Amino acid sequence: MKEHPRVAELRSALSSSPGPVALVPTMGYLHEGHLSLIRRARGENRTVVVSIFVNPSQFGPNEDFTRYPRDMDRDRRLCDEAGVDHIFAPEVSEMYPPGDRTIVEVTELQDRWEGASRPGHFRGVATVVAKLFRIVRPDRAYFGEKDYQQLQIVTRMATDLFLDLEVVGCPTVREPDGLALSSRNVYLDPAGRQAALGLSRALQAAQADFGAGERRRTALERRMERVAHDYSGFELDYAVVVDPHTLEQLQEVNAESRALIAGWVSGVKLIDNAAIAPV
Ligand code: PAF
């Protein structure tokens, strides 16, 4: 495994690497969710690149950019054990050199849900992912469904900009009690950890109601709100049932619909989502 802090170095290494080439973009502090993406990438491609970059442009001024968890030694070891070929770990100045002026916006999709409560977040995500796609030029790029809106935005961007790669969405990895894995879970104390279960429990309740025949969107959304409300310490941001691609609220829910939920526990923003009709 080789580690590259510079774009030119990585590109030169990739020029002699066998294809197909996979990219797994991350902000580091790897957990089982990231490792599931890396394993899938390893199984489907001949060269695997993992990028580790805490991207400042996707954090708002009052968000956790400086305290976002980092552990490069551990990440390096986990990547090595998982059979990664190249780590790309640039400095901020490598990704955003002086004079950098270009941003990528995926209109409408970027403004809904997480975009409404974190203005500018998805512009930062789309911009850095577009840069990573151009730097690595992967055949496939792997993203977790846990960040469902991000996955839809990146997929849309790759299509709209003819980026010629496959965006592969991979299932959310959960703790045995249902909590979706997230690097931000480290911020939770035991009480917060309990409150965070409101997310997955609300999604499960909506799935159960859909399974029992409920098709009214507002009824399913109210049900999620009620369940989330029962978890003291969980402050709901939104609980919605949407079209899986446009992320618009639907008139009538169908088996393709996606339930999205988000909220705060002790000031930590947590998100989760699920297919309304689990396969
Ligand atoms: O999901 C993440 O970790 C980040 O948003 C990503 C895709 C690596 C872009 O910084």
- Show pLDDT as tens, one digit a residue, over the chain (279 residues): 999 999 999 999 999 999 999 999 999 999 999 999 999 999 999 999 999 999 999 999 989 899 999 999 999 999 999 999 999 999 999 999 999 999 999 999 999 999 999 999 999 999 999 999 999 999 999 999 999 999 999 999 999 999 999 999 999 999 999 999 999 999 999 999 999 999 999 999 999 999 999 999 999 999 999 999 999 999 999 999 999 999 999 888 999 999 999 999 999 999 999 999 988
Atom of ligand 1 nearest to the CA of 27: 3
Expressed in angstroms and rounded, the spacing between residue 66 Cα and the centre of ligand 1 is 16
Residue nearest to atom 5 of ligand 1 (CA): 125
Token look-up 């209109």 returns 107
Write down the pLDDT at residue 251. 84
- Mode of pairing for the β-strands spanning 21-26 and 140-144: parallel
Mutate to test the pocket of ligand 1, among 96, 125, 136, 271 (most ligand atoms within 8 A of CB): 125
**What's the first-to-final CA gap in the chain, in angstroms?**
37
Residue nearest to atom 1 of ligand 1 (CA): 26
| Tokens found for residue 115 | 């975009």
CB 1 within 8 A of CB 89: no
125 lines ligand 1 (CB under 6 A): yes
Atom of ligand 1 nearest to the CA of 54: 10
| Tokens found for residue 213 | 């025949």
Q: Position 94: which residue type?
A: E
Mutate to test the pocket of ligand 1, among 38, 106, 110, 129 (most ligand atoms within 8 A of CB): 129
Active-site residue (options: 4, 31, 34, 121)? 34
DSSP string, the chain: -EEESSHHHHHHHHHTSPSSEEEEEE-SS--HHHHHHHHHHHHH-SEEEEEE---GGGS-TTSSTTTS---HHHHHHHHHHTT-SEEE---HHHHS-TT-------TTGGGSTHHHHSTTHHHHHHHHHHHHHHHH--SEEEEETTSHHHHHHHHHHHHHTT---EEEEEPPPB-TTSPBP-GGGGG--HHHHHHTHHHHHHHHHHHHHHHTT--BHHHHHHHHHHHHHTSTTEEEEEEEEE-TTT-PBPSB--TT-EEEEEEEETTEEEEEEEESS--
Angle between helices 148-160 and 121-136 (to 10 degrees): 50
Atom of ligand 1 nearest to the CA of 147: 1
Q: Identify whether 34 is a catalytic site residue.
A: yes
128 lines ligand 1 (CB under 6 A): yes
27 lines ligand 1 (CB under 6 A): yes
- Mode of pairing for the β-strands spanning 258-265 and 268-275: antiparallel
| Tokens found for residue 222 | 């109210």
Q: Nearest to residue 250, comparing CAs of 273, 220, 206?
A: 220
Q: CA separation (Å) from 90 to 3, 48, 205, 276?
A: 10, 17, 42, 39
157 lines ligand 1 (CB under 6 A): no
Expressed in angstroms and rounded, the spacing between residue 24 Cα and the centre of ligand 1 is 9
Expressed in angstroms and rounded, the spacing between residue 252 Cα and the centre of ligand 1 is 32
Write down the pLDDT at residue 208. 98
Mutate to test the pocket of ligand 1, among 34, 58, 95, 155 (most ligand atoms within 8 A of CB): 58
